[in-house]
């Protein structure tokens, strides 16, 4: 999971409040969903200014072609990171009422991570397919992972692609859009961030 920390931080630097220490990674063989083209601009409904519900100093600004993520530092100074959808390492698509931000480390790398995004009543939520919990008890953690993997396998084909002698487990999935829809409406994806739109 470590190799993805930088790319996740680049797009959503305020994810620093979420520590991705998972040793189990689920990658998508292709960008999801399969049907429909990529979105060249951010949809009108997503455009706006947001604040992190848990950390009010963290802001997210989405315009037509770019995003800006900032963290207030020393009261008046704001540190910004920004990017746009022309970056081939990011691909935004839509399935029903979810937007899926597909991320890969390099544009020539074949596999993707997927971050579902959902906006409702001016609340923007970000989800992640996390196979591990914050439970410290190793036995309970192992049980949680086993059950989560069992649920995933009940919805789509899962392949273990970890390299030999690797300490991390890496799984590859290639769900159909029907399977993806089912996954999104199950307990597979965990909510990891929540933003509130700033309405003047």
Structure-block tokens of residue 128: 């992640």
Instruction: Spell out the domain ranges in the chain.
Output: 2-197
In this prediction the pTM is 0.82
pLDDT of residue 20: 42
pLDDT digits (tens, 9 = 90+) for 9-20: 444 444 433 334
Percent of the chain with pLDDT over 90: 40
* Contact of 101 with 114, CB cutoff 8 Å: yes
pLDDT tens, position by position, 122-165: 999 989 898 877 777 888 888 988 999 999 999 999 999 876 56
How do strand 24-28 and strand 169-173 relate by DSSP bridges? parallel
- Average pLDDT for residues 166-178, to the nearest whole number? 87
User: d(Cα 116, Cα 102) in Å, to the nearest integer?
Assistant: 9
Cα dihedral 90, 17, 95, 119 in deg (nearest 10): -120
Rounded Cα–Cα distance for residues 103 and 91 (Å): 7
Averaged pLDDT for residues 69-89: 65
Say yes or no to pLDDT of 175 above 50: yes
- Radius of gyration over alpha carbons of the chain, in Å? 17
Answer whether 189's CB lies under 8 Å from 127's CB: yes
Q: What element of type H or E holds 140?
A: helix 138-153
d(CA 191, CA 188): 10
């Amino acid at each position: 999971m470590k190799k993805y920390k930088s790319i996740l931080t680049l797009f959503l630097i305020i994810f620093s409040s979420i520590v991705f220490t998972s040793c189990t990674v689920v990658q998508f063989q292709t960008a999801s969903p399969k049907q429909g083209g990529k979105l060249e601009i951010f949809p009108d409904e997503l455009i706006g200014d947001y604040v992190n519900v848990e950390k009010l100093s963290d802001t997210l600004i989405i315009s037509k072609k770019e995003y800006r993520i900032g963290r207030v530092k020393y009261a008046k100074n704001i540190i910004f990171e920004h990017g746009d959808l022309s970056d081939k390492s990011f691909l935004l698509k839509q399935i029903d009422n979810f937007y899926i931000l597909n991320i890969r480390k390099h544009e020539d790398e074949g596999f993707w991570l997927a971050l579902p995004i959902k906006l409702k009543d001016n609340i923007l939520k970000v989800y992640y397919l996390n196979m591990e919990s914050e439970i410290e008890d190793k036995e309970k953690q192992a049980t949680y992972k086993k059950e989560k993997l069992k649920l995933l396998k009940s919805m789509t084909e899962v392949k273990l692609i970890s390299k030999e002698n690797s300490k991390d487990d890496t799984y590859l999935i290639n769900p159909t859009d029907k399977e993806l829809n089912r996954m999104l409406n199950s307990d597979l994806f965990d909510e990891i961030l929540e933003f509130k739109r700033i309405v003047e």
